[in-house]
Amino acid sequence: MLPLDDVRWGQLTTFFGEPEKLPKVLGEWLASIGFDQEETIYRRDLFDQFLHQGTITNAAFAVVPWLVDVCKKGVTRFQVEYLTDVALVEANRLKYGVYGNRKGTAEYPEWLMPDYKQAIIESRDLADDAIEGEHDVERKHGCNEARLIRERRVGLGPVVIGQLNGYFQLPQRECFAEKWRTDIFFCPPFSVT
């Protein structure tokens, strides 16, 4: 994971504000985990920095490992929501790519992608457990479509939750998981090295 004090945060693109401020916002969210303000800080301050209106910036590749790490630790009651956002980022990466990035910044920073790739792989195992363990129907709502997709065995390509409008062709982007266990999307065989 990209450390919060790493100057490379400034080389990323956020939808709002300066990317140098993203580690502070991420730190505030991390400090709120398990407390009443966790969801508010995540949705109000962090979410729209990397995943806004169904699009992503390269900052998403730095935030996703932090989301997965929190889910792995089992310290949040919002595991389903965070893993759904991770799935949306990866599906968006595969289908559309990065919405935009500031001039002089890499669309897919090589120094971020190994940790991002590992987070996507780890999220596969977490997703089934989170969905199966969630009993609150309202909080599980975002995953209901994932279950529908699983039952219908949608063909190759990412499917953004809530936007199932047919079958998509997989673009020429490297897939980081052979198959998400939630079957939000299927990927061609991929060798993890």
The tokens 């956002």 sit on which residue?
A: 85
Confidence of residue 99 (pLDDT cuts 50, 70, 90): confident
In the chain, pLDDT over 70 holds for what percent of residues? 70
Residue 185 lies in a domain: no
Question: What predicted TM-score, i.e. pTM, was given to this entire model?
Answer: 0.74
Residue 166 lies in a domain: no
CA atoms within 13 A on the CB side of 153: 0
Q: How many domains does the chain fold into?
A: 1
Residue 123 lies in a domain: yes
Residue 42 lies in a domain: yes
| Both structure tokens of 44 | 């109000």
Residue 1 lies in a domain: no
Residue 176 lies in a domain: no
In the predicted model, is pLDDT for residue 191 greater than 60?
no
Per-residue pLDDT tens for 12-47? Answer: 988 888 889 999 999 999 999 999 999 999 999 999
In the predicted model, is pLDDT for residue 171 greater than 90?
no
Classify the C-alpha dihedral 70-175-181-95 as positive or negative. Answer: positive
Per-residue pLDDT tens for 109-139? Answer: 999 999 999 998 888 778 777 777 777 766 5
Residue 124 lies in a domain: yes
Mean pLDDT across 152-166: 33
Q: Which of 188, 1, 180 is nearest to 91 (CA)?
A: 180
